[in-house]
Amino acid sequence: MYRTSLLLLLIAFSSCQNGQHKETDCKTLPQAMLRPDMQGITEHKFQVKGIDSEEFVRFANGKTLTILQSGCEKIRQEFRFELKEKPTTDDAAYWTDQAILNLAALAVLDPQLMPLGNWVMMIRAQKDDIRLAETKALEGGFYTKIDRITSNDRVFLIITLSNFSI
């Protein structure tokens, strides 16, 4: 059942309808995942660039999120969370836990985002096997990659979800 929900989530946020089309022949434009009126959102920007989109969100707690979406039938969603504090570890388990926490927080913002909870369950089930910056096959033909970018003044958690190997 949750496999269907995951596919529906990817399709709902994708750039085209299912069919015999090239990846650039999308019938619809990408749609924003979040809305400015959702609880805790203080700033929201959404921009479409062909079959790609970029969505920027600032939350009331100061955290920011950029969501990059691309594709029609091969759908890729990248979540870039800017973390407020620099972690003291670079352990894959820590970053995977952060991915789980941040996706779970998004899933409860709105009923349309609840399928993200299924991604949380699949990532949690594979937690011990996830390596940073490496694609991990999940259940049902879905994939994730968890990574991070750290610098002196900024830290980003990067979570990529897709229906193809990335």
pLDDT of 165 higher than 60? yes
The DSSP output letter for 101 is H
| Percent of the chain with pLDDT strictly greater than 90 | 71
C-beta separation of 43 from 65 below 8 A: no
Cα four-point dihedral sign 92, 94, 96, 98? negative
Q: What is the pTM of this model?
A: 0.86
The string over 48-74, giving b where at least 16 C-beta atoms fall within 10 Å of a residue's C-beta and e elsewhere, is eeebebbbebbbeeeeebbbbbbbbbe
Q: Per-residue pLDDT averaged across 89-107, rounded?
A: 96
CA 37 to chain centre: 20
What's the rounded Cα separation, in Å, for the pair 89 and 67?
25
Residues 129-164: tens digit of each pLDDT: 999 999 999 999 999 999 999 988 889 999 999 999
pLDDT of amino acid 9: 52
Of 50, 166, 157, 47, nearest in space to 106 by CA: 157
Q: At what angle do helices 116-125 and 2-12 cross, to 10 degrees?
A: 120
What's the rounded Cα separation, in Å, for the pair 166 and 76?
8
